[in-house]
């Protein structure tokens, strides 16, 4: 887990870490590093946002960097979408759960998601999942 990207939160959720420009107030993700880092205050985004749009990967990717099930019989489709956090920022990410249950405008929670790496280890990153009572 990279605490410059997200941190664990209550109830199995995740808080995404963003940057807020100290002069303009513009919120960006990911938070800039290096020479621009001092211009951005570290902030944590709300636990929930709104599904703006999404697409579903229904065919298994055939090439790296994809690591996972490549056989069409065993492959589980997954969604990737854009989540709007108020008027602050929109973030792209994987959507956990059944892609056929998604609707644009749903309320989505930020959650941790683990997956295997090419070396056989496991990596955890942020993802999104429909919130309970998911309409915004």
DSSP characters for 67-95?
Answer: -S--STTT---EEEEEEEETTTEEEEEEE
Q: Is residue 79 part of a domain?
A: yes
pLDDT for the residue numbered 134: 60
Q: Is residue 42 part of a domain?
A: yes
pLDDT in tens, the chain (136 residues): 467 888 888 888 999 999 999 999 999 999 999 999 999 999 999 999 999 999 999 988 777 667 677 778 888 899 999 999 999 899 999 999 999 999 999 999 999 998 877 788 888 999 999 997 665 4
pLDDT for the residue numbered 2: 64
pLDDT for the residue numbered 132: 79
The alpha carbon of 101 is separated from its chain's Cα centroid by a whole number of angstroms, namely 17
Residue with tokens 């870490």: 17
Q: Which domain holds residue 57?
A: 6-135
Q: Give the dihedral sign, CA 63/65/70/75.
A: negative
pLDDT for the residue numbered 72: 80
Q: Is residue 44 part of a domain?
A: yes
Q: Are 18 and 27 in contact (CB under 8 A)?
A: yes
pLDDT for the residue numbered 69: 73
Q: Is residue 31 part of a domain?
A: yes
The structural domain count of the chain equals 1
pLDDT for the residue numbered 65: 67
Q: Is residue 124 part of a domain?
A: yes
Q: Which of 81, 40, 22 is nearest to 30 (CA)?
A: 40
pLDDT for the residue numbered 35: 92
Q: Is residue 53 part of a domain?
A: yes
pLDDT for the residue numbered 24: 96
Q: Is residue 1 part of a domain?
A: no
């Amino acid at each position: 887990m990279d605490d410059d990207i997200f941190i664990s939160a209550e109830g199995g959720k995740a808080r995404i870490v963003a940057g807020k420009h100290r002069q303009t107030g513009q919120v960006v993700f990911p938070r800039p590093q290096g020479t621009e880092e001092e211009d951005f205050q570290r902030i944590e985004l709300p636990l929930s946002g709104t599904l703006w749009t999404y697409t579903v990967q229904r065919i298994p990717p055939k090439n790296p960097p994809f690591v996972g099930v490549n056989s069409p019989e065993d492959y589980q489709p997954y969604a990737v979408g854009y989540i709007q956090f108020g008027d602050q920022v929109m973030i792209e990410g994987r959507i956990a759960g059944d892609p056929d249950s998604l609707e644009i405008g749903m309320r989505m929670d930020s959650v941790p998601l683990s997956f295997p790496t090419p070396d056989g280890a496991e990596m955890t990153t942020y993802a999104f999942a429909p919130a309970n009572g998911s309409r915004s």
